Chain A
Amino acid sequence: MAYLLSLKQNIASFFMEIGEMSFFSLRFFKELFTKPFEFKELLNQCYVMGNKSLFLVGVTGLILGIVFTLQTRPTLMDFGAVAWMPSMISISIVREIGPVIIALICAGRIGSSIGAEIGSMRVTEQIDAMEVSGTNPFKYLVVTRILAATLMLPLLVIFGDFIALIGSAIVENMKGSVSFVLYFNQVFEALTFSDIFPATIKTFFFGFAIGLVGCFKGYTSKKGTAGVGKASNSAVVYTSMLLFIIDFIAVFVTDIFV
């Protein structure tokens, strides 16, 4: 009985959280289109999320490309289809693996830092201080961060994909005798707009999800240092889950229209 009760409570709190988050995102859109715009802070956040994550994304992308190519090669070699490596690797990286892996990395890097930052600002009353200083903290903190994440993630994914393909090309260049020119020729031969556009549009939603969940968890975090930790932790967990759900929906929708 107690178990059922707690289950009921858990389900209720889950739906409450979903509802709260929906209101939160609604508020984001409302505040997004009303003056004033915190443009400077937006640029600052873009810099923090974009430039500061580039190294991480680059390393991840490079390793992803190298490892993915090394792992796939033997299988294709069995089929005598090594010539298909560039097209296969590029399609799977651009369509799926690149966006998802880089979004997950960014969920860890950006989502958790947003959660922790806003959470600690909430806990130490910095958000209140901001409001007293005549600033709308939602605009200043939340809108800028969600917007920055939404704008920067596609760019990071583009960089990540590109670097992953370079990594893959390096492997192909060393293991097989595929020149860089041939590799990228085959890559562009294989890719179509129906690969690149849905994948890129998807990343905007990934970025939005990362920003939204991070801000939501931080903004509504409870008092105390534990609250900050929980905010940043659950930001990553929820974001990762949400990323896969969005990915599923995106693939589903892409499948219908393309």
Chain B
Amino acid sequence: MKKTNTQNLQLGIFVILGLLIFVIAVYYIGKQQNLFGNTTQISSVFKNVNGLQLGNNVRFSGVNVGTVKNISILNDTAICVDMIIQNKTLTLIKKNALATISSDGLVGSMIVNILPGEESASEHIQLGDTIKSISKIATADMLTTLNTTNENAALLTADLLKITNAINKGEGLLGALIKDETMATEIKQSISTLQLISKSALQTVTKLNKMIDAIDIKNSVAGVLLNDTISAKKMSFLIESLNQSAIEINEITANFNAFSKELKNNEGALNYVMNDTIFVNHLDSSMKNIDQATEKLNENMEALKHNFLFRRYFRKLERENAKDEKN
């Protein structure tokens, strides 16, 4: 009989332990679903519950406080969600609290999130209260918005394409400006002329310098020149005007450089247009100046050649040139 008694004792322990585990498991699962203990039911009406299910968690500012108990469709735009909330958190949820439905994680289940209202209300919710809901942008809504944006973008692109085409074809003021080929050619020509002028100007100045050197050192005519007052007056005038020409040419070149820099740095059509008039004016005046300077220089040179004092020098120069060519 003793054997039977120990057996029964062990069996009893076995059964009770098993049942205990089961009951504890059931209790904890139930606790998660707030089926036991002090709870209160509140509800909220949504337009769209986004696949919320019975038993989904209800969170208050991110803390689990209850579960969804029932979901019922009131009409085509209203869905009532009943929630069970733990009594201990009930006092924290005010009457102006807002309920939203969101997803727990990327692919997680849906949850009801209760957010505290913006203004602090003194009264907390009670059994059977309905709190307001706000609908966060659901994925579907987001896609709709995105779609509109896309459509707008498409329209915008089409317009832009039209404008670009028009510009290319040279329609409109802007187009005309951008597409004016003659102007571009003129500018090019001006630049190359300018280059030529500055080259010749440079040559002249070099020659002049050499001449002056020759005057001072090689032929020792400086003294003669200096003593000859008439010649000297004429000479000083000549050199002065030559100097002026050189300065003017310099100025033009500087102007021109600045302009080309600007052109390089700001390649926009708008900039081009803005600089346009100034440029043209500049260019015009430069041309005039250059013309004048060249004229004057030529005159000076001619005068210099015919001056008896320099005649020998020029002949010598011609001879040397001929010598160089022979060699």
Q: Do A and B have CB atoms closer than 8 angstroms in the complex?
A: yes
User: Known: A158-B18, A192-B55. Is A46-B25 also a contact (CB below 8 A)?
Assistant: no
A47 at the interface (CB under 8 A from B): yes
* A155 x B33 contact (CB < 8 A): no
* A193 x B22 contact (CB < 8 A): no
* B19 x A155 contact (CB < 8 A): yes
Q: Which of B11, B21, B33, B55 contacts A46 (CB 8 A)?
A: B11
Kindly list chain B residues whose C-beta atoms are within 8 Å of the C-beta of A155.
14-15, 18-19
B189 at the interface (CB under 8 A from A): no
* A44 x B29 contact (CB < 8 A): no
Kindly list chain A residues whose C-beta atoms are within 8 Å of the C-beta of B117.
none
Kindly list chain B residues whose C-beta atoms are within 8 Å of the C-beta of A40.
4
Kindly list chain A residues whose C-beta atoms are within 8 Å of the C-beta of B14.
47, 50-51, 54, 155
Q: Name B's interface SS.
A: helix
B28 at the interface (CB under 8 A from A): yes
Q: Mask for B143-170, Cβ within 8 A of A = 1, else 0?
A: 0000000000000000000000000000
Kindly list chain B residues whose C-beta atoms are within 8 Å of the C-beta of A192.
29, 33, 55
* A159 x B25 contact (CB < 8 A): no
B184 at the interface (CB under 8 A from A): no
A196 at the interface (CB under 8 A from B): yes
Q: Mask for A155-167, Cβ within 8 A of B = 1, else 0?
A: 1101100100000
A189 at the interface (CB under 8 A from B): yes
Q: Which of B4, B8, B21, B55 contacts A159 (CB 8 A)?
A: B21
User: Known: A44-B4, A158-B22, A159-B21. Is A193-B29 also a contact (CB below 8 A)?
Assistant: yes
User: Known: A43-B8, A192-B55, A200-B22. Is A50-B15 also a contact (CB below 8 A)?
Assistant: yes
B253 at the interface (CB under 8 A from A): no
A191 at the interface (CB under 8 A from B): yes
Task: For residue A158, give the distance in angstroms from its CB to the closest CB of chain B.
Answer: 5
Q: Mask for B9-28, Cβ within 8 A of A = 1, else 0?
A: 01100110111011001101
Kindly list chain B residues whose C-beta atoms are within 8 Å of the C-beta of A156.
18
Closest A-chain residue to B25, C-beta based? A196
Kindly list chain A residues whose C-beta atoms are within 8 Å of the C-beta of B26.
193, 196
A244 at the interface (CB under 8 A from B): no
B7 at the interface (CB under 8 A from A): yes
B32 at the interface (CB under 8 A from A): yes
* A188 x B11 contact (CB < 8 A): no
* A196 x B29 contact (CB < 8 A): yes
Task: For residue B111, give the distance in angstroms from its CB to the closest CB of chain A.
Answer: 12
The answer for the CA separation of A191 and B29 in the assembled complex, in Å, is 6
Kindly list chain A residues whose C-beta atoms are within 8 Å of the C-beta of B268.
none
* A47 x B10 contact (CB < 8 A): yes
Closest A-chain residue to B55, C-beta based? A192
Kindly list chain A residues whose C-beta atoms are within 8 Å of the C-beta of B19.
155
A-B contact pairs, 12 of them (CB 8 A): A46-B11, A47-B10, A50-B11, A50-B15, A155-B15, A158-B22, A159-B17, A159-B21, A188-B29, A188-B32, A193-B30, A196-B25
10 new A-B pairs (CB below 8 Å) besides A51-B7, A191-B29? A40-B4, A46-B11, A46-B15, A47-B14, A184-B28, A188-B25, A188-B28, A188-B32, A189-B32, A192-B55
Residues of A whose CB lies within 8 Å of any CB of B are 40, 43-44, 46-47, 50-51, 54, 154-156, 158-159, 162, 184, 188-189, 191-193, 196, 200
